[in-house]
Amino acid sequence: MADPVSTMPLRVPVARPWRMPLVVGVAALAVLAVGSVILPTFLVNNLIRSFLYAALALTVDLLWGYTGILTFGQSAFFGIGAYAAGLVFVHAGYSPLLAAGALAAGLAAAWLVSRAIGWLAFYHGASPLYASVVTLVLPIVLVQAIYSGGEFTGSSSGLSGFDSIDLPLEAWFFIAGAFLTVLAVIAWLFVRSDAGRLLVAIRENESRCEYLGIDVSRYKARLMDTCALVAAFAGFLFACVQMVVAPEYAGFVFGTELVIWVALGGRGSLLGPIVGALLIDTGSAYLSGDLPYIWTLLIGIAFVVVIVAMPRGLAPLVADGVRGMLPRRKGPAPVAVTFVAAPARERDDATGGTARPALSLRGIHKHFGSLKVLDGISFDAHAGELLSLIGPNGAGKSTLMRCIADGAQRSGGTVEIGGAEIRRLAPYDCVALGVGRKFQTATVFDSLSVAEALRIARYRVARPSRWQRSTTLELPQPALDVLRLTGLDRIPEQQCRYLSHGQKQALELAMVLALEPRTVLLDEPTAGLTKQERTQIGSIFVSLATRYRMCLLLVEHDLDFVRQISSRIVVLHQGRIVMDGGVDEVVNSDLVRAVYAGESHTGTAGTEGGA
Amino acid sequence: MLNLGLDIVTTAAILFIVSTGLLLVFGVMKIINFSHGAFLTTGGYASVIVAQAGLGWWWSIPCSLAIGFVLGMAVERFIVRPLYARPLDAILATWGLGIIVGQLITLAFGRGVQMVASPLSGAVHWLGAQYSAYRLVLVGVALIIALALGWLLNGTRLGLQTRAVIMNEALARGLGISSARVRFITFCTGAALASLAGCLITPLASVDPNMGVAWVVGAFMLVLVAGASLVNLAVASTVLGGAQVLVSTFVNPVLGGLTIAVLAALLLRIRPEGFARG
Amino acid sequence: MKRLSYAATATALLMTLHTAFAADPIRIGVPVGLSGANSVVAPSVVQSAQLAVDEINAKGGILGRQVSLEVADDGSGAAGAQKAFDSLIFDKKVNALISMETSAARNAGLPIVSRGKVPFIYTSFYEGRSCNRYMYVDAWVPDQQVAPIVDYFMKQQHAKTFFLIGSDYAFGRGMLDFTKSYIEKQGGKVVGNEYLPMDGSDWTSIISKLQAAKPDAIITSTAGGAPNVTLTKQLRAAGIKLPYGNLAVDEGTAKSMGADAQGIYISGSYVTNIDTPANHQFLAAMQKRFGADLKTPNDLSVPEYEAIYLYKAAVEKAGTVDTAKVIPALAQVSFDGPRGKIQMDKQRHTPLTMYLGQVQADGSVKVIESFKNVDPGAQCPALK
């Protein structure tokens, strides 16, 4: 699901990240105040509209450019806000109280619709294509609903001729511009903050986020709710200033125009979409009259070219150009993030205490159609154990790992983590029970730095600030050990995409450990590592089990590695446990040798041990 | 009553004709070709060209197929191929293409709405009801298209290769099938079918540079629900098309227009594989 | 160097003076549906406007100033109209707007007209009762148009039940609401009343309902060009041969529909067969000006021609293009055009001679009856 388009890399964190946005915001307000008076009327008219559209484009950028949710539906929320105003003013007349009521109604309606869309589109396992489809269907449904409203909603005609807030055009110019400015500043602060990095993390690797305990679907739905409210507000303002509402403003053609502006301006850059929206919308007012067909044709061509060849849009190109032209300045020294030890957390059955197994499986089975992959897997694993799961390819090892960390995967049986059944819980809820899973291929967040990735991993334990960037990051000792041992603690600002394979593996392990799990699932952790890295990581695993009393469940092919570090080995063959015992016992058994050599095909002679 | 039944069957046939091209492309390439609407429009304008040239309407059929196929070749090569790994971007790029084609058509033919005379006017009297002859003919056309495509997919080697690519592209390539060639031919065929559909629907309505847009979303929802199977598409067209007709007739024609989209979205939420066997 | 810069400054000054003193043309804005539902009739409207402007300029213009035309596309809808009106009033700075549009576009443009304080002569027939300080209407309203068709159907065709079909917007609903109440007042019954959105083109379910309801006659009121054509096509394809009155089709569109249009009854204030010297002169001039490109003048385009002349008369009477003076003048002037004497003095609307006609096989309209001087009724009682 990785998206090759990356966000513009964040500059190294500055001590006070809110200063720049606020300064720019205030300057913009000043420019608006002056501009409202000196600019010609036609331009003012157009800019009012363009400012509101740019605010919409901003929401699309947050949803799509940053979080990867391709949405065509922001126009629908805009339309809801606009029609709320239109309907109230036409049928009930105008008064300040009614206006406030209309605004409240519009916001409430937008919020409700957004919740419905969230339910439809964002759930564990939803495909991004389906989510986009839902956002496409929304404006279509809304427009048809408007059409079916006959005289009440004005149908194809729209509603017009109503009174609204009586303000001069200059005042509206300032209001619309201020709306955009405030929104842009808030978005800027959010995106630069620690919490804002989560958007990028979701876009780059949603699955990893879920396994870090983050309820991605809920997050996306909340984000969409917020953007829906903003869009509805913009629509309300639009209806008040234009005094006309029409179905076109809620339709999907407008929704796709917004996406076009964001794509051309530069997705994931905030400023790009704003500039794109302003230039194209106001530009078209001037140019499309004179060169009607050509203008739209040019936009269409530019759009296709940008998507195919320059997916990041035009903003990064312009920004690079500008930066190249400006004289190099020595800015304030950047402050790197430092890692500190987190205070030890209250644990109910902290050390020792084998009263309750860390992991307990009973009768797990999984089938795909008529193919049975796991059949009756049962065993317990305790704190302090380093349990290796071995078996030939196709034995079902990775499938078993998935069934432990994700409640929806198995077809039957029970899984208990720390005594609590996982039932059908999604990965992020399983993480809450104390299990962490490290994937087979090192999945980190390419666009984020080491420190940012680790902070995302700490999301459940320590919510990152929504407007600040913290210069320290608390990590539990095991994670710190991993970082120190592999040298990652010295390069906290390095972007993950530039790490070596071994470093990525280590980082992912540190991220999983940052969750403070009691049970760690490791899926082929030595794949692709050098001998030295393998020894290093082996010693880490042993210390996790012995020093920190975690329960480690390892899937491995490297029998030497397994023999060196494990305290117990479980052998899987064709979906069943054929052996479960101590290292020597298993390694020296004939059965295991036969299984690996492929001689026995059914669990026949000599099934020893096992639960 | 009979009228209602005929409405349902003919509507299903029309939806089927319009959606087959999209189904083919989605099944093989796993991307949604949003320029499908533009190809529909080119088919419509093919009829206009044929009418302006003074030829009989039936010439529009080969004309639209040819135009669609040629255009499809260029689109696959320059727009779809680079975006194979980015399906969401492919939707956007093909939508952008649709805009471009719409504007080019406007430049060539003007913004206005054009009319094409129907090749088969009047109604057929059957079992006490009067029904549009042309709509009934379209049912036959849908069957012919289904059978032809079915034969292509099941009876030819290219068809076999295509089905292999649909099921598991990596494996197919590993077996020596040139998936690039299969994708190329599939896209061109899909485009040609879209163009044909466009020319077939012109006698029922009017031709204007944006005529295809209205059909894209409905076709696309049907394809999502149908997965990669022609039979499923026929089922989906009948069920969802029937629902559309029923809502249009008994509730409100306006709400009928959105029945397909809403039902399909709900269906996919409950059962993401749609009508395909799970 | 210095001499060069003096010369440059002098030239620039002269040029600015020249343009300042040269007569500034009077700009007339024409926002019209070049795309969308009205795109079939828009070209004829633009042609009428062009002929009027050419004739006026040939005779010396208005108050010695040439007249120029600014055409903008309003997309036949609200969103496009906002852009078009905005552009014409604030960017091109027109002195007046004279145009035919869909009711959706008109309603969307009116607030902008009020803001821009520009006279607006609306030249399209419409559903009536749209009132604005700056607007005048020189085309018919239902009070003038509906009665001929309904009366004819009820008396001559003995129709008692009617099925009404329209486009779902202000015009479609307004016309059919008026028609329904008129039918019921005359003792008839409306057995069906269905609408499709303006851009809708699939009338299938409505036609099925029609067949189930078995009315004696059909009356339709759809938007401009495309919906008229698609509805008629589909009605004929379904084999429907009932008396069919179309409240919103013009001769040009009827001609383009070919054989499908035969038999349709229309009621309007203009048909090309009107036998008056003014009409013959007008048609000859149009033919001469546009030749093979001529789009049939019709009930939507001829009022445009007359409106431009009315504006000329009003400006000459007021002696200025100043809106405050032109507005009252527009009610006081009259013009003898192809449709007869036009004077917008009945609450911003004008009495008209109405014709009931039937479309023939060759697309022309045969006049069955004519009604002189039909009053528009009380359209804008609040305005004087």
As to burial, measured by CB atoms within 10 angstroms (0-12 exposed, 13-18 middle, 19+ buried), residue B188 is: buried
Closest residue in C to B256 (Cα) is C205
> Which residues in chain B are closer than 8 Å to A301, comparing Cβ atoms?
96, 100
Q: Is the separation of the CB atoms in A148 and B254 below 8 Å?
A: yes
Query: Which of C78, C102, C198 lies nearest to residue A244, judging by beta carbons?
Result: C78
Q: Does any CB of chain B come closer than 8 Å to the CB of residue A137?
A: yes
Q: Does any CB of chain B come closer than 8 Å to the CB of residue A307?
A: yes
Q: Does any CB of chain B come closer than 8 Å to the CB of residue A376?
A: no
Residue A397 has pLDDT above 70, yes or no: yes
Instruction: Return the structure tokens found at B58.
Output: 């039936």
Cα separation, B153 vs B24, in Å, equals 10
pTM of the full structure: 0.86
Closest residue in B to C39 (Cα) is B112
CA distance to partner chain B, nearest, from residue A579 (Å)? 34
Strand partners, C358: C265, C366
Cα separation, A305 vs A298, in Å, equals 10
Query: Are A304 and B96 an interchain contact pair (Cβ–Cβ within 8 Å)?
Result: yes
In angstroms, the Cα distances linking C348 to A173, B160, C102, C174, C262 are 35, 73, 19, 19, 35
Q: What percent of chain B has pLDDT over 90?
A: 23
CA distance to partner chain C, nearest, from residue A40 (Å)? 9
Q: If contacts are CB pairs under 8 Å, which of residues 148-167 in chain A contact chain B?
A: 148
pLDDT digits (tens, 9 = 90+) for A329-358: 655 555 677 777 777 665 554 444 456 888
Q: B121 phi and psi, to 5 degrees?
A: -100, 165
Query: Are B272 and A307 an interchain contact pair (Cβ–Cβ within 8 Å)?
Result: no
Angle at A442 between CA A441 and CA A445, to 5 degrees: 130
Cα separation, C37 vs B112, in Å, equals 9
3-state secondary structure chain C: CHHHHHHHHHHHHHHHHHHHHCCCCEEEEEEECCCCHHHHCHHHHHHHHHHHHHHHHHCCCECCECEEEEEEECCCCHHHHHHHHHHHHHHCCCCEEEECCCHHHHHHHHHHHHHHCCCEEECCCCCCCCCCCCEEECCCCHHHHHHHHHHHHHHHCCCCEEEEEEECCHHHHHHHHHHHHHHHHCCCEEEEEEEECCCCCCCHHHHHHHHHHCCCEEEEECCCHHHHHHHHHHHHHCCCCCCEEECCCCHHHHHHHHHHHCCCEEEECCCCCCCCHHHHHHHHHHHHHHHHHCCCCCCCCHHHHHHHHHHHHHHHHHCCCCHHHHHHHHHHCCEEECCEEECCCECCECCEEEEEEEECCCCCEEEEEEEEEECCCCCCCCCC
Query: Are B134 and C168 an interchain contact pair (Cβ–Cβ within 8 Å)?
Result: no
Among C113, C173, C178, C196, most A C-beta atoms within 10 A, so best to mutate, is: C173
Cα separation, C168 vs A149, in Å, equals 9
> Which residues in chain C are closer than 8 Å to A242, comparing Cβ atoms?
82, 111
Query: Which of C194, C233, C239 lies nearest to residue B123, judging by beta carbons?
Result: C239
Cα separation, C101 vs C307, in Å, equals 14
User: In the predicted model, what is the mean pLDDT of chain A?
Assistant: 84
Closest residue in B to A137 (Cα) is B261
Query: Are C43 and B112 an interchain contact pair (Cβ–Cβ within 8 Å)?
Result: yes
Count of CB pairs separated by less than 8 Å, B with C: 97
Query: The tokens 């060069």 sit on which residue?
Result: C4
Q: Give the 3-state secondary structure of residue B154.
A: helix
Cα separation, C202 vs A338, in Å, equals 66
Cα separation, A223 vs A190, in Å, equals 12
Among A148, A301, A307, most B C-beta atoms within 10 A, so best to mutate, is: A307
Closest residue in B to C33 (Cα) is B112
CA distance to partner chain B, nearest, from residue C140 (Å)? 25
Residue A596 has pLDDT above 90, yes or no: no
Among B40, B113, B126, most C C-beta atoms within 10 A, so best to mutate, is: B113
Query: Are B107 and A293 an interchain contact pair (Cβ–Cβ within 8 Å)?
Result: yes
Q: Does any CB of chain A come closer than 8 Å to the CB of residue C83?
A: yes
Q: Does any CB of chain C come closer than 8 Å to the CB of residue A246?
A: yes
The pLDDT value recorded for residue A254 is: 92
Residues 6+ apart with CB under 8 A from A9: A447, A495
**Confidence band (pLDDT; 50, 70, 90) for A401?**
confident
Spatial CA neighbour of C103 closest among C36, C40, C196, C171: C171
pLDDT digits (tens, 9 = 90+) for C105-152: 998 899 899 989 999 999 999 988 889 999 999 999 999 999 889 999
Q: What is the ipTM of this complex?
A: 0.86
Cα separation, A404 vs A396, in Å, equals 12
Cα separation, C59 vs C82, in Å, equals 34
In angstroms, the Cα distances linking C65 to A112, C19, C321 are 59, 14, 11
Residue type, C331: A
> Which residues in chain C are closer than 8 Å to B132, comparing Cβ atoms?
234, 237-239
CA distance to partner chain B, nearest, from residue C126 (Å)? 22
pLDDT digits (tens, 9 = 90+) for A176-185: 999 999 999 9
pLDDT digits (tens, 9 = 90+) for B45-74: 999 888 888 888 888 899 999 999 999 999
Cα separation, A450 vs A12, in Å, equals 12
Among C40, C198, C205, most B C-beta atoms within 10 A, so best to mutate, is: C205
pLDDT digits (tens, 9 = 90+) for A233-287: 999 999 999 888 999 899 988 999 999 999 999 888 888 999 999 998 888 888 7
The dihedral built from the CA positions of residue A63, A64, A67 and A70, taken in this order, carries a sign that is positive
User: In the predicted model, what is the mean pLDDT of chain C?
Assistant: 88
Count of CB pairs separated by less than 8 Å, A with C: 82
Q: How many residues does chain C have?
A: 384
Query: Which of A41, A160, A292 lies nearest to residue C108, judging by beta carbons?
Result: A160
On the CB side of B121, how many CA atoms lie within 13 Å of its CA? 15
Closest residue in C to A290 (Cα) is C72
Q: Taking the C-alpha atoms of B170, B171, B172 and B175 in order, what is their torsion angle to the nearest 10 degrees?
A: 120
The pLDDT value recorded for residue B117 is: 74
Cα separation, C324 vs C87, in Å, equals 22
Angle at B154 between CA B149 and CA B155, to 5 degrees: 95
Q: Is the separation of the CB atoms in B233 and B226 below 8 Å?
A: yes
Residue A429 has pLDDT above 90, yes or no: no
Q: Is the separation of the CB atoms in A403 and A575 below 8 Å?
A: no
Query: Are C169 and A156 an interchain contact pair (Cβ–Cβ within 8 Å)?
Result: yes
CA Rg, chain B, in Å?
18
Spatial CA neighbour of A85 closest among A171, A176, A162: A162
Residues 6+ apart with CB under 8 A from A108: none
Query: Are C108 and A158 an interchain contact pair (Cβ–Cβ within 8 Å)?
Result: yes
Average pLDDT over residues A198-220: 88
Cα separation, A184 vs A463, in Å, equals 23
Cα separation, C125 vs C280, in Å, equals 23
Residue A293 has pLDDT above 80, yes or no: no
Residue C2 has pLDDT above 70, yes or no: no
Q: Report the 10 Å Cβ neighbour count for A31.
A: 12
Checking DSSP bridges between strand A359-368 and strand A472-475, what pairing results, if any? unpaired
Strand partners, A379: A361
DSSP string for residues in A504-562 = HHHHHHHHHHHT--SEEEEESTTTT--HHHHHHHHHHHHHHHHTT--EEEEE-S-HHHH
Residue A601 has pLDDT above 60, yes or no: no
| Higher-scoring residue by pLDDT: C50, A211 | C50
Instruction: Return the structure tokens found at B257.
Output: 């227009």
Task: Determine which of A409-418, C61-70, C176-185, C349-358 has the lowest per-residue pLDDT on average.
Answer: A409-418
Q: Is the separation of the CB atoms in B203 and B134 below 8 Å?
A: yes
Query: Which of C86, C104, C110 lies nearest to residue A157, judging by beta carbons?
Result: C104
Q: Taking the C-alpha atoms of A560, A564, A568 and A573 in order, what is their torsion angle to the nearest 10 degrees?
A: -10
Q: If contacts are CB pairs under 8 Å, which of residues 67-106 in chain A contact chain B?
A: 70
Angle between helices A314-325 and A252-265 (to 10 degrees): 30
Residues 6+ apart with CB under 8 A from A151: C173
Query: Are A130 and B213 an interchain contact pair (Cβ–Cβ within 8 Å)?
Result: no
Q: Is the separation of the CB atoms in C37 and C102 below 8 Å?
A: yes
Residue B203 is inside which H or E element, if any?
none
Q: Which residues of chain B have pLDDT under 70?
A: 112, 274-278
Average pLDDT over residues A90-101: 91
Q: What percent of chain A has pLDDT over 70?
A: 90
Q: Is the separation of the CB atoms in A469 and A193 below 8 Å?
A: yes
In angstroms, the Cα distances linking A9 to A200, A270, A407, A446 are 11, 13, 36, 10
Query: The tokens 């990240």 sit on which residue?
Result: A17
Spatial CA neighbour of C307 closest among C39, C51, C37: C51
Count of CB pairs separated by less than 8 Å, A with B: 101
The dihedral built from the CA positions of residue C353, C359, C363 and C369, taken in this order, carries a sign that is negative
Query: Which of B95, B97, B254 lies nearest to residue A148, judging by beta carbons?
Result: B254
CA Rg, chain A, in Å?
29
Q: Does any CB of chain B come closer than 8 Å to the CB of residue A311?
A: yes
Cα separation, B104 vs B98, in Å, equals 10
Strand arrangement of the beta sheet that strand C96-99 belongs to:
C67-73, C26-32, C96-99, C120-122, C135-137
Q: Is the separation of the CB atoms in A566 and A586 below 8 Å?
A: no
